[in-house]
Structure 1
């Protein structure tokens, strides 16, 4: 992947209101601190349209803000073969989203589980129905997994 001029990475969760927009924000923040990394572009989307066009969950915004990242302007969007045909890598938060991406017809070699990057294969749990502690745990997992993922792109 590193031979390309730009690599487009999309983080994917179910509704694109908690995990994947937080992952996008973390990736952008870590990327600005990553020397010797090729041109990377990050975005996020959900496999469902439950929240399409909705603002990001306030708890994701809060944990991001606590860590110096602003994702307040993000809005939820659904992944689609029509709007995501230029994607080089889909990074799924859990195995259900991984399977959904494959069922949508995306090429298997372009789909990975974030948990396979420094997280021992763990799924990033959906914190939606939990409290602030769940969002803190998810933030830490995302930060570790994304740091490992970005490390794979260094020249």
Structure 2
């Protein structure tokens, strides 16, 4: 985990995961994190959601290849439907995690300045300091979706560890 950039003022009570269309990366992070929160018995204390910076797929299920990869890990994404980021999300969520630098820039461009501190790169919580962006698997093959699944799973584990550490300090 990268340290200074990920310092939060308080334990987040709500987290929004964001990618471009909300059909691959962010719904996967949503589903994986939700699954891990239940295993860690933290699911009642943190509200989570996912959204896209674009409104291309509003109302759709996550990509079938992403759902297949998640199913292989015992995680269902069937309850998640794509939606676009809303202006109110910046007020409602304590932590907004962008899947890549383009999503991060798009969010910063539409977020009120006094709330921009809530926006971080998802991979700020990764052990892979060299990575900035979760690759978009949409135009690739199943291996790309499986790689994204592994990267998101590991990063969500780190995010939960970080939240537990914050709990210990509060």
TM-score by length of 1: 0.91
Separation of aligned partners in 1, 2:26 and 2:130: 17
Residue 74 of structure 2 aligns with which residue? Answer: 68
Match of 2:91 among 79, 85, 95: 85
Gaps of 5+ in 2: 1-9
Match of 2:100 among 85, 94, 97: 94
- SS of corresponding position for 1:39: coil
Match of 1:135 among 103, 125, 145: 145
Separation of aligned partners in 1, 2:43 and 2:68: 28
User: Hey, which of these two has a bigger chunk of helix by percent?
Assistant: 2
Match of 1:45 among 51, 73, 80: 51
Per-residue CA deviation, residues 21-62 of structure 1 (Å, 9 max, x unaligned), is 011000011111225788111110000011112221101111
CA contact (8 A) 2:34 2:43 kept: no
Shift of 1:15: 0.1
Residue 29 of structure 2 corresponds to residue 20 of structure 1: no
Q: Root-mean-square deviation (CA), in Å?
A: 1.8
Per-residue CA deviation, residues 101-154 of structure 1 (Å, 9 max, x unaligned), is 111124221011111112315110000000100001100110111111111111
CA contact (8 A) 1:64 1:70 kept: yes
- SS of corresponding position for 1:85: helix
Separation of aligned partners in 2, 1:37 and 1:66: 22
TM-score by length of 2: 0.83
Residue 131 of structure 2 corresponds to residue 125 of structure 1: no
Separation of aligned partners in 2, 1:55 and 1:38: 24
CA contact (8 A) 1:16 1:44 kept: yes
Going from structure 1 to structure 2, the CA distance change for 1:76 and 1:147 (only over 3 Å counts) comes to same
Going from structure 1 to structure 2, the CA distance change for 1:26 and 1:152 (only over 3 Å counts) comes to same
